Structure 1
Amino acid sequence: MNKKVLALAGSLLAATALTGTAAQADVKIGLLGGITGPIAAMAPAMLLSAELAISEVNAQGGIGNGEKLVQVTGDSACNPQNGTDAATKAVNIDGVVGLVGPHCSGAVIAAANSVAIPAGIALITPSGTSPEITNLKDNDLVFRTVPSDDYQGRALARSLKEQGMESVAVAYLNNDYGSGLANAFKAEFEAIGGKITAFAAHEGEKASYRSNLAELAKGGSDTLVIFDYGDGSGLTMLREALENGFFTNYVGADGMKSDAPIKELGANNLGTFLASAPVGEKSDSLEVFAKNFKDIGGDPDAVFVTTSYDATFLMALAIEKAGGDKAKVGAALRELTSATDGEAVMPGEWSKAKALIAEGKPLVYKGAAGTYNFDAAGDVPGVYALFKVGANGFEKVADMK
């Protein structure tokens, strides 16, 4: 990730410190990111894409009668307690009318149950993927622009079989993210004839996982699937597996598609490493977003940047339609994404969307990652791809179905 991206994303925290002097009419939304913790390398690009959406809103008329949309940035640290604390501050102290994030599933579940749902605040996560989020009793307040890991785990299982991998060992982080992915993967891989030679949970942030890896290797497979985070314990596990030659092939999901393994271990040592991740559907909207994001120093291929942008733009649309009333934002979001025959709105077209809302006309938001029509649980289907590590970072190997 280049220095410009990190500097711009870091400015989000500085901007938050200034919100206390903002005009009272400003409309605040919470951006709860994994700024520290196991996805710290991913978070700056995700926050930067959210900032892009906010800047477009403010440059094209703002909210309501010209009120500015102001971000209140909190660090959920991919941790349930931190997620709850960040959401509590955003809702109860800063007075946000909606939440974008947290980034990680455990923090999403905790923040939703402890803060958002009791307060009647709509929450959209761009990257919380655990199937457990689907089961929240959320009063139709919790949504996500990224698919459940039930989709990803099963799609990855099918893709590995297509790649000729008949048996695998599975290591997964013992949290909502890791267990959700692992169980979906295992069910599908075995259903289509694959063999799981070992299947074990591990705790995060241990100094070493050599004993775990030795047990996993006893099953005899040459392929290890790691459902973890590439900035945290997943990196440690991958490093030690490579150093000790426990396996030949390595596979991760979106949490492992991070720059950290490449920087720490070297691309030349990751020639047999594959990772899955959601990708935007090829569309004019994706091209528009990619250009605009590049213009501010962003990498449009970074993981979750399209879903982060869309979550923020959708939240702004819902706030506009709700007239800034936080009690109506969830219902407004549901209504906005239920239309199928409205006028198309693409990324960056805030003034057009604002006019359509003012005129009471339906619109269809064709986002960077796709068109959104949330199901009853606030979930969406998704498009995934399998990536390998090349000379210039992650390169797509194949689409996943």
Structure 2
Amino acid sequence: MSTEARTTTHPRRVLPPAELPERPDVPRALIAGAGISGLTVAHGLARHGWDVQLFEAAPTPRGGGYMIDFFGPGYDTAERMGAVLPEMRAHGKEFRELRYVDEQTRITARADVDAIVAGVGGRYFSILRPDVERSLLATLPDRVAVAYGHRVADLDLAAADHGDHVHVTTRTATGETRTWQGDLLVGADGIRSRVRELAWGPEDYFLRHLGYRSAAYLFEDPELARWLGDTPLLTDTLHRQAGLYAVDERTAATLFIERTDEVDRPVDVAAHWRTRFDDLGPTIRRALAVAPADMYCDSVAQSVVPRWRRGRVVLTGDAAHAVSLLAGQGVSMAITGGWHLGGLVGPLATDGVPTADALGRAIDRYQDGFGPQVAGVQRTAPTAAATFCPGNRAQLALRRLAVNATALPGAGALAGRLAGGRRVVG
């Protein structure tokens, strides 16, 4: 292979409107964050007659991201959402196997993905996280608007706690402010949620760092993408893992994970990952050579918020219950939880604008029903960490054994049942 490559982002479709006209007799939900959770809640509320206004800090839909395996509860929920699942499958990939390699790119283990897919009845595919958002955007109902480039600046807590409405002020990159009024505010603005900070307190109260850092980006390299094909490459190494996946015939995706107690983002992100992973062979070095300075990079953490509701404000997704990359099922939990929240709050629109008490009862049912499921997934993170970054040679050998065992008769079905929607390997 030659060494020519360059970074790229994924194409996007036409965006929804930025703003909806207000209709006083129609319930109006404000959603901070147009990621997977926020968009899913928007779907759920709009189908019951709510007007939904989202605002997102990013200027455009996000690109980059990493590949996830999608099946289990999230797959079932996306199927119930109608057009969402076909749209996701149109952007998805079906890999045949995973190759684990050592520092010299020699294969040490193979995972039979075909067997795992068969074990869950074909209800399984891989997809970039941004393409999940893209699919949700492309299928939004008419009564949903998304204002990009609007970051949450302030929240009227007195109104949220005791009033008939909630008021949120956003600020653009140019300093322009805007105050939005709604009957409900959904904080779906990620693990470092601004809504949570304003209404619950500093993020240090709610984040549980797990001792890992991850990074990801896309880059254009047709030769490498063709070489990868439908067989991703993962390094079989201690304390860290690099992964390469072909997105299409021209583009590859990366995922890097390392064990570390460091929490802050490195000053020079690209240089950091080149230094830490440069010895993992020529293919990994090739990908690192085009690592962009603005790549995704963050500490791997969970969020644990005792109660997800405050007055007319509710948290969902990573703002309330991030399970982490290590536990897997993050996308599955975001879609399942968001749809469940919309399904409980949405029907309140049949009686007009809902009261604070009615909203509170519906949201409390959401947490009481969904909270134990999320907590169970969060508890798997320490054990799952050994899948990504074995800490000793015994764990490394055990992973090789487990990966190679996927080719045994019946192993794929067992892996599918045990995984329950999270990543099986890698």
Pick the structure with greater CA Rg. 2
TM-score (norm 2): 0.31
Which one has a larger percent strand, Structure 1 or Structure 2? 2
Q: Which has the higher helix share?
A: 1
Tell me which of the two structures has the higher relative contact order, counting C-alpha pairs closer than 8 angstroms and 6 or more residues apart.
2
TM-score (norm 1): 0.33
